[in-house]
Amino acid sequence: MAPLRIIKIVLAVTIAAFAIVGVYLSWTISERQKALREVSRYDSVWAASQALTEFNRLAFEVAAFTMPDGGVSQDDVQLRLDIMYNRLGILRRGDLREVGERKPEQKAAIDELETALGEIQSLVERLDQPGAAAGVLARLKSVGGRMVRFAAAANQLSGEQVADDQQRLLALHRTFSLLAGGLVACGIALIALLFCQNRVVKRAHRDLSRVTDDLRVAKEAAEGASEAKSRFLATMSHELRTPLNAIIGFSEIIALERFGPAVQPRYREYAGDILKSGRNMFELVNDY
């Protein structure tokens, strides 16, 4: 197989590889963009730990309510309780739901909080009655520890998610680097192939030039020979014409008996033959 053909095949393969690597690289870049967007996740740890803060403030508010100069009304306590109910909704739904889904004991903790809040609501409605406030505080105390553990579980889950995100990003970056390297390698291969092809073409061109030169020399030689032949023939025809004229002229005179009848009729016949032959030869010579 001619070297040029080999180069063409290798070139086609390299270009195809280049295109495939390029497409894969674009896909990797878009995946990286997606992964980067997820780096700043919703901070569920903050949301879970706020449950404890609101929990404690409800307890303080209830305690302050029991003191004669606490400055806290039943409405204030109800507000704290409503805020706690909102927090329950946050812990149950959306991104924080995953904590409960992963660990059943955390889901159970949330269920217990809901039950406790229900009991506390009915106590808050008659908060001014003896024992109601104490009942609220006791109920809160029983649930408090589980709230801390829920927040800790949320924290742990968040840490794992961040680590996973980081791993994914690093993997994508590795792929990206490999592909970029591959692209560079393809580029180098293409350049090398171009050089090879160039060299082969140059060699072919050199060979072609040589053949052309040989042909030109041969052509000139042939032309020269042909010219020489023509010149020779031209000269020869001129050299032949002169005696032919004599042959034709004189044989005509004899055949036509210009200067009197021929002594022998046979010589007249012979002269006629000579004239005919001479005229034939003249025709031939005239072609040149």
The stretch near another protein (CB under 8 A) out of 86-94, 177-185, 187-195, 215-223 is 86-94
Interface residue with another protein among 3, 73, 82, 194 (CB under 8 A) is 82
Window of 38-46, 167-175, 204-212, 233-241 that interacts with another protein by CB under 8 A? 38-46
Structure tokens at 71: 């400055």
Q: Does 288 bind another protein (CB under 8 A)?
A: no
Assigned token pair, 152:
């800790």
Residue 95 is a binding residue for another protein (CB under 8 A): yes
Contact 10, 193 (CB under 8 A): yes
Comparing CB distances to another protein, the nearer of 87 and 179 is 87
State the Cα–Cα distance between residues 77 and 121, nearest whole angstrom.
10
Q: Among 26, 53, 177, 280, which residue sits at the site for another protein (rule: CB under 8 A)?
A: 53
Which of 17, 90, 193, 262 binds another protein (CB under 8 A)? It is 90
Q: Single out the residue of 8, 41, 173, 276 in contact with another protein (rule: CB under 8 A).
A: 41
CB 83 within 8 A of CB 52: no
Closest CB to another protein among residues 97, 103: 97
Q: Is 54 in the site for another protein (CB under 8 A)?
A: yes
Please tell me whether residue 42 binds another protein under the rule CB under 8 A. yes
Residues that bind another protein (CB under 8 A): 37, 39-44, 50, 53-54, 57, 79, 82-83, 85-86, 89-90, 93-95, 97
